[in-house]
Amino acid sequence: MNAVVTPSSPDGPATELLAALARRLGAAHVLTDPDAMAGYLAEQRGLYRSRALAVVRPATPEEVAFVVTECRARRIGIVPQGGNTGLVGGSVANGEIILSLGRLNRIRELDPVNATITVEAGCVLKTVQEAADRAGRLFPLALAAEGSCQIGGNLATNAGGTNVLRYGNARDLVLGLEVVLADGRIWHGLSGLRKDNTGYDLKQLFLGSEVSLGIIYGAVLKLFRKPRSRATAFIGCASPHHALRLLERLQAGAGDALSGFEFMAGFALDIVLRHMPGVVRPLAAAHGGYVLAELTSPDPDADLAGRLEMLLAAALAEGVIEDAALGRSEAQNRAFWQLRESVPEAQKREGGSIKHDVSVPVSRVADFIEAASQACTERLPGIRVCAFGHFGDGNIHFNLSQPEGMDKAEFLGFWGEFNRLVHDIVAGMGGSMSAEHGIGLLKREELRRYKDPVALELMRTLKQALDPLNLLNPGKVLDPGGGPPG
């Protein structure tokens, strides 16, 4: 089935590859026209721009394997791409082909008794959520890019989001995988088993690997009972330490029902109110920080609003919080979430920002926010700390907005210096400098600096064993230099 490789002129292999791919996939799915490729070459944050030999769009697992085999024969690298929403340049090409998985978008099976859904990598996350919902189940992975990111990308980056507190991140939601390996072989690991002690848990090699070990094209995902009751509150408190005390109380008082505990620094809410049209101030006064807390239960009769109200009243009486508004309707709950989800867009409109996606043990998260805020303010007076995110997971998007009136380019010149300052504090607390978004191109240097050297060595050993020609996503994660292979 494979095309015969005949070495020819220097650019011959590329030309031959494109011809072979067009024969097998159809010319309409091997894009080389710059206009047709434009959407695949742009990158979410505008930090990078791809240069690609072509964008290739297979529709079946066999076609994916064919593309890999053909590329391998000619030593041409492959950059898989899902929804292209990643934030660290992971799906940016530098002369390779971009392998777009979007046409592999079938939901193959939903088994309500096993509580699993079997999907192809190109399914948009929201489509999977909706399919589960129609069957009266919950697929809990939820994040702001859910309307365009794809399951393959979510799994390759081990995405987290707003439900991790209760259900875990992408890594925890997978039972089985199908993967095309760098040599073109297919690993049929599409198991729906909840118990299987027959050796290494191989799927974990590919989850969060950011492609570098194999191309995920199918997955068996876990489903859960659908929440039938919900209570959401927007809470004002004096400081991150007060937010941490509230978290402890809600964990003790609501147990498993606590499914969301998101934090916003005072400045984060200020800029949402300033820049986002139609948003309403949720509380009468301004506070040092805000928490969005959510309880959910599969029991339609659970009185979650009553429980949350009682817990918040006690917290208010004891000075743990300063004010709270309980959502009285689904629309109001949605509006609270809208405030939280608008922070990145509002920050963009506020000017230049330097971002950190970090985690520390939950018990240290308030210490971290305070220590890092102080260190950054001392280094550059007037800098504005836009800390927000998944406080209940110990994961904070510790973003910095430029001082008012400062030139944006001048501020962005501090990027490396602030990264060092913040990541050193994180490392000192036993944390991670990439909690959700991965390494990609953006954090390769940081990985080398902060990752345990033995762990790095093991990662290189695995890469060498599974992709000795460095064909899959070359230049990302482990590679110091980048650029196409061969």
Give the nearer residue to Zn ion in terms of CB position, either 100 or 162. 162
87 binds, among Zn ion, ligand FAD, none (CB under 5 to 8 A by kind): ligand FAD
Cα distance between residue 40 and residue 102, in whole Å: 11
Site for Zn ion in 416-455 (CB under 5 A): 436
**437 lines the binding site for ligand FAD (CB under 6 A):** yes
Q: How far is CA 76 from CA 94, 245, 483, in A?
A: 11, 54, 11
* 216 contact, one of ligand FAD, Zn ion, none, CB 5-8 Å limit per kind: ligand FAD
Orientation of helix 304-317 relative to helix 240-254, angle to 10°: 140
Task: Check binding of 484 to ligand FAD (CB under 6 A).
Answer: no
90 binds ligand FAD, rule: CB under 6 A: yes
Distance of CA 181 to the CA centre of its chain: 23
CB contact burial 234-262 (16+ within 10 A = b; e otherwise): bbbbebbbbbbbbbebbeebbeebbbbbb
Choosing from 436, 467, 474, 484, the residue that interacts with ligand FAD (CB under 6 A) is 436
The entry of ligand FAD, Zn ion, none that residue 342 binds, CB within 5 to 8 Å by partner kind = none
Shortest Cβ contact with Zn ion: which residue? Answer: 436
| C-alpha distances out from residue 435 to 19, 171, 242, 288, 359, Å | 41, 13, 23, 24, 5
63 binds ligand FAD (CB under 6 A): no
Neighbours of 411 (CB within 10 A): 20
Whichever of 143 and 315 has its CB closer to ligand FAD, that residue is 143
| DSSP 8-state symbol, 27 | G
109-148 footprint of ligand FAD as x/- string (CB under 6 A): ------------x---------------------xxx---
Chosen from ligand FAD, Zn ion, none, partner binding at 159 (C-beta under 5 to 8 Å by type) = ligand FAD
Measured from the CB atom, the residue of 436 and 446 that comes closer to Zn ion is: 436
353, two tokens: 């920002």
* Cβ 361 to ligand FAD shortest distance, Å: 19
Nearer to ligand FAD, 170 or 324 (CB): 170
Query: What's the CA gap between 216 and 33, in Å, rounded?
Result: 27
Q: Is 289 near ligand FAD (CB under 6 A)?
A: no
Choose from Zn ion, ligand FAD, none: what does 85 bind? Cβ within 5-8 Å by kind: ligand FAD
For Zn ion, which is the closer residue by CB, 97 or 387?
387
Binding track, positions 377-416, relative to Zn ion; x by CB under 5 A: ----------------------------------------
* Separation in Å, CA 339 to CA 323, 331, 332, 400: 17, 13, 11, 18
Place of tokens 């505008």: 46
Distance CA(34)–CA(419), nearest Å, equals 35
Which one of ligand FAD, Zn ion, none is in contact with 260 (Cβ closer than 5 to 8 A by kind)?
none
CA distances from 118 to 13, 102, 162 (A): 37, 16, 23
Nearest-angstrom CA–CA distance, 286 and 290: 9
Residues at the contact surface with Zn ion, assessed by CB under 5 A: 436
Binding site for ligand FAD (CB under 6 A): 44, 79-87, 90-91, 101, 121, 143-145, 149-150, 152-154, 156-157, 159-161, 210-211, 215-216, 344, 436-437, 440, 473
